A and B are shown apart, each in its own frame.
Chain A
């Protein structure tokens, strides 16, 4: 085990323990969110469907919660968000409910489950802990990710990059993108909602002329770092995670201003069964300790006011994301039609 892994393990064990709580400055709801010390003890059975891959950090959070809550029997099932959403729907059709909580990588999978009336209202006391633009009735955003332009500083200077996402269609950059990737499709959905169909169609056509497609956004970021393309469109954390492993990698991130190019999307949790435990579990995820840990170690954007941003990202108020109801990103079908029309998909 290398040193970093050891430290990470140690951090995890102390994450919610007395030491972790001491690190928090105040009890209660001061800046930086609630401390776990102020939260009720978790008890009973709880099954979480966790719709995302991860490098062990969520495992650390789960272990820390288990360790802190001896009366809790916590079961976690991992899988792609869409598959788990389909599973929850299939279970409901058969009159079965196995999951108490659905923690999804994106809001649109939650949208599918909510549409079938399978979610329960999020208690107001939970939503009010979140930054005001992230309060929803059916679900609670847990952590954010921002759309970025991942560029190769050896090929492009930051000053040359437009701060308007629409301008990339008329540029002569070599661009990487991942049209089959869910996060990219959400971004195009946001563009369609903000700019309208026609402008989005033109943008897709314009970029397509100079774009290389990759399977996923990690691939896009790697291609930018290798200089296969000048820049690519990707969620922020792929760049930060790549740089964590290879600090010398030739890739940096830039933001556009107040358009789909700087959309802040969120992972989120929805309650599927009644009772206090699932809701309390969400409170733990929004605690100062967990939010801080996810920001530090997984480079996720904390959504509770006062928790520091991950290293390598400017504060959220310096990023200028568009104002958009995230649940509308579930309207993906017209987006796919646009992408097919233009030959992008």
Chain B
């Protein structure tokens, strides 16, 4: 009988755990009756359009930025990667509300400058805001993919007469498509499950029906609807799984020198994103802060946000390794991997409640920090799995095989060959989980230890009551802490793969 690889056993365990909350939803939603109005078609169309447009826009924004930050010497490169990732730390409903308050007739921008601005709303507005707060998924996964490509292939293409641009487009880009697809998948799932942004942008999507049912004390209906949303999630997962890439040897890192114009273009785009996604909401908050004054903010919230998120990042990466590894070894492994993504497509408030049921089965853990970290790991596992998988995937099995034939044990081959080679993906995955855990709200509200306040829960508390200005300090700190953490993680990445040639 064939022995199951260790990665299948561990990966299977992790995938089963990730599916538990979905099982709870099935239990809660069982027997619920649904009466949906006649607008279901329109709402479904809105949902699909928003998802498709956001994915396209995120790829158009994320991939070029990933090329620039992976391959070229941009001044303050590490800062820019951190700054461009930081939108992932801002809850998108905060961004959406800032856009709502800033633009349009009588908006804050008009108040400050006297110049009328168009209002940001509807499908276009929701796509804009959603893209700003999700494109870093694509940036980080693509960048990790690009960084593990071998420069020799590009040089071979150049020797054979391709221009550099053509080489990048025809040789490098296709080999990064796994990373791009992994990021696009996360964007799609986030967009499908987010409630706040479409609501504030006045676009009716599927999550709104779920939210209304939940608030009308129809937990069973909300659960059932969330399961129906999983059909869309399934379609997205299937589409992404169609994207494949060849395996290849890892090799030397590619470095390019950008021309002046290209550098200027990069800086312009990066600055524009920074302004829209980070400076605008923080600026609006600050304006309100000055008007209203702040009270009741405790600096300890920073710590409360950071360390569970760090633990979650470490935990998610550990759990992701066997799953990602299994995904590269066969069909069953692929299915295990897909299973871990499902939870990410469920609206947070419903999943948070499902996790309360899970937590109550582990009563010694209920309302402890450990359970909160566990919930983050379960929820954000796909962020780590996607990044790790897309780097492992292009790695040839021969490397580990060579190590084995030289006498290394399977563990040693993994530890000394596979693991170091997949480090860019691991770092990117950890960064994604960390950022996402920092801004996670519904599960945090429900599962944290009683009295435990984080930056995100504090933001919710003041935002919900209409004390918008008091969100300035926690909003700014979310960005700062996230930025610093990303810089630190990237430092580890650079040490491993070597900096630019000098």
Number of A-B contacts (CB under 8 A): 159
Type the 1/0 row for A72-90, where 1 means its CB is closer than 8 Å to any CB of B: 0001111110110111001
Whether A112 touches B217, Cβ cut-off 8 Å, given contacts A4-B293, A87-B356, is yes
User: Is B461 a contact partner of A78 (Cβ separation < 8 A)?
Assistant: yes
Nearest opposing residue in chain B for A179, CB measure:
B212
Interface assignment of A23: CB less than 8 Å from any CB of chain B: no
B446 surroundings in chain A (CB, below 8 A): 79, 83, 87
Interface assignment of A136: CB less than 8 Å from any CB of chain B: no
Interface assignment of B450: CB less than 8 Å from any CB of chain A: yes
A244 surroundings in chain B (CB, below 8 A): 292
Whether A215 touches B291, Cβ cut-off 8 Å, given contacts A55-B465, A336-B216, is no
Give complex CA distance A214, B366 in Å: 36
A98 surroundings in chain B (CB, below 8 A): 366-367, 450
A182 surroundings in chain B (CB, below 8 A): 215
User: Is A245 a contact partner of B353 (Cβ separation < 8 A)?
Assistant: no
Give complex CA distance A77, B453 in Å: 9
Q: Which of A9, A90, A93, A214 contacts B202 (CB 8 A)?
A: A214
User: Is A215 a contact partner of B199 (Cβ separation < 8 A)?
Assistant: yes
Interface assignment of A340: CB less than 8 Å from any CB of chain B: yes
Interface assignment of A259: CB less than 8 Å from any CB of chain B: no
B349 surroundings in chain A (CB, below 8 A): 80, 83
Interface assignment of A242: CB less than 8 Å from any CB of chain B: yes
User: Is B366 a contact partner of A96 (Cβ separation < 8 A)?
Assistant: yes
Give complex CA distance A343, B104 in Å: 26
- Tell me the interface secondary structure of chain B in the complex: helix
Nearest opposing residue in chain A for B448, CB measure:
A77
Stretch at the interface among B168-176, B178-186, B357-365, B417-425: B357-365
User: Is A228 a contact partner of B119 (Cβ separation < 8 A)?
Assistant: yes
A337 surroundings in chain B (CB, below 8 A): 35
Interface assignment of A246: CB less than 8 Å from any CB of chain B: yes
A232 to chain B, nearest CB (A): 14
Q: How large is the interface on A (under 10, 10 to 19, 20 to 34, 35 or more residues)?
A: 35 or more
Per the 8 Å Cβ criterion, residues 67-114 of B in contact with A are: 97, 100-101, 104-107
Whether A94 touches B363, Cβ cut-off 8 Å, given contacts A60-B296, A78-B445, A79-B446, is yes
User: Is B466 a contact partner of A59 (Cβ separation < 8 A)?
Assistant: no
A246 to chain B, nearest CB (A): 6
Select the residue from A98, A112, A222, A227 with max chain B CB neighbours within 10 A: A222
Q: Which of A79, A94, A222 contacts B445 (CB 8 A)?
A: A79
Whether A56 touches B466, Cβ cut-off 8 Å, given contacts A5-B294, A225-B106, A226-B105, is no
User: Is A1 a contact partner of B294 (Cβ separation < 8 A)?
Assistant: yes
Select the residue from B296, B361, B470 with max chain A CB neighbours within 10 A: B296
Whether A242 touches B466, Cβ cut-off 8 Å, given contacts A2-B294, A333-B216, A343-B37, is yes
A222 surroundings in chain B (CB, below 8 A): 100-101
Interface assignment of B219: CB less than 8 Å from any CB of chain A: yes
User: Is A75 a contact partner of B470 (Cβ separation < 8 A)?
Assistant: no
Give complex CA distance A91, B446 in Å: 12
Whether A91 touches B360, Cβ cut-off 8 Å, given contacts A228-B105, A332-B217, is yes
Interface assignment of A257: CB less than 8 Å from any CB of chain B: no
User: Is A86 a contact partner of B353 (Cβ separation < 8 A)?
Assistant: yes
Q: Which of B37, B196, B296, B353 contacts A56 (CB 8 A)?
A: B296
Give complex CA distance A214, B204 in Å: 11
Nearest opposing residue in chain B for A2, CB measure:
B293
Interface assignment of B295: CB less than 8 Å from any CB of chain A: yes
User: Is B461 a contact partner of A180 (Cβ separation < 8 A)?
Assistant: no
Nearest opposing residue in chain B for A76, CB measure:
B451
A219 surroundings in chain B (CB, below 8 A): 97, 100, 200
Interface assignment of A158: CB less than 8 Å from any CB of chain B: no
Nearest opposing residue in chain A for B289, CB measure:
A2
User: Is B291 a contact partner of A246 (Cβ separation < 8 A)?
Assistant: yes
A112 surroundings in chain B (CB, below 8 A): 217
Give complex CA distance A79, B35 in Å: 28
Whether A180 touches B199, Cβ cut-off 8 Å, given contacts A78-B461, A83-B353, is yes
Per the 8 Å Cβ criterion, residues 354-388 of B in contact with A are: 356-357, 360-361, 363, 366-367
Interface assignment of A40: CB less than 8 Å from any CB of chain B: no
Give complex CA distance A240, B77 in Å: 47
User: Is B466 a contact partner of A241 (Cβ separation < 8 A)?
Assistant: yes
Give complex CA distance A77, B454 in Å: 12
Give complex CA distance A332, B297 in Å: 36
Interface assignment of A237: CB less than 8 Å from any CB of chain B: yes
User: Is A94 a contact partner of B360 (Cβ separation < 8 A)?
Assistant: yes
Whether A52 touches B464, Cβ cut-off 8 Å, given contacts A85-B217, A227-B105, A343-B38, is yes
Interface assignment of B483: CB less than 8 Å from any CB of chain A: no
Per the 8 Å Cβ criterion, residues 85-110 of A in contact with B are: 85-87, 90-91, 93-94, 96, 98, 108-109
User: Is B445 a contact partner of A55 (Cβ separation < 8 A)?
Assistant: no
Interface assignment of A185: CB less than 8 Å from any CB of chain B: yes
Interface assignment of A126: CB less than 8 Å from any CB of chain B: no
A231 to chain B, nearest CB (A): 15
Per the 8 Å Cβ criterion, residues 30-64 of A in contact with B are: 47, 52-56, 59-60
Give complex CA distance A343, B450 in Å: 40
Q: Which of B211, B295, B361 contacts A94 (CB 8 A)?
A: B361
Nearest opposing residue in chain A for B202, CB measure:
A213
Give complex CA distance A87, B366 in Å: 12
Nearest opposing residue in chain B for A12, CB measure:
B295
Q: Which of B107, B291, B461, B463 contacts A226 (CB 8 A)?
A: B107
A227 surroundings in chain B (CB, below 8 A): 105-106
User: Is A77 a contact partner of B35 (Cβ separation < 8 A)?
Assistant: no
Give complex CA distance A333, B202 in Å: 23
Give complex CA distance A340, B219 in Å: 18
Type the 1/0 row for A167-205, where 1 means its CB is closer than 8 Å to any CB of B: 000000000000010100100000000000000000000
Type the 1/0 row for A329-341, where 1 means its CB is closer than 8 Å to any CB of B: 0101100110011
A180 surroundings in chain B (CB, below 8 A): 199, 208, 211-212, 215
Give complex CA distance A226, B106 in Å: 4
Give complex CA distance A245, B294 in Å: 11
B200 to chain A, nearest CB (A): 4
Beyond the given pairs A98-B366, A226-B104, 10 more chain A to chain B contacts, judged by CB atoms under 8 angstroms and listed by A's residue number, are A55-B462, A76-B451, A80-B349, A82-B214, A82-B215, A86-B353, A96-B363, A180-B215, A246-B291, A345-B212
A-B contact pairs, 6 of them (CB 8 A): A3-B293, A55-B467, A77-B448, A94-B360, A218-B466, A343-B39
| Interface positions of A (Cβ within 8 A of B) | 1-5, 8-9, 47, 52-56, 59-60, 75-80, 82-83, 85-87, 90-91, 93-94, 96, 98, 108-109, 112, 180, 182, 185, 212-215, 218-219, 222, 225-228, 237-238, 241-242, 244-246, 330, 332-333, 336-337, 340-341, 343, 345
| Interface positions of B (Cβ within 8 A of A) | 35-39, 97, 100-101, 104-107, 119, 196, 199-200, 202, 208, 211-212, 214-219, 288, 291-297, 349, 352-353, 356-357, 360-361, 363, 366-367, 442, 445-446, 448, 450-451, 457, 460-470
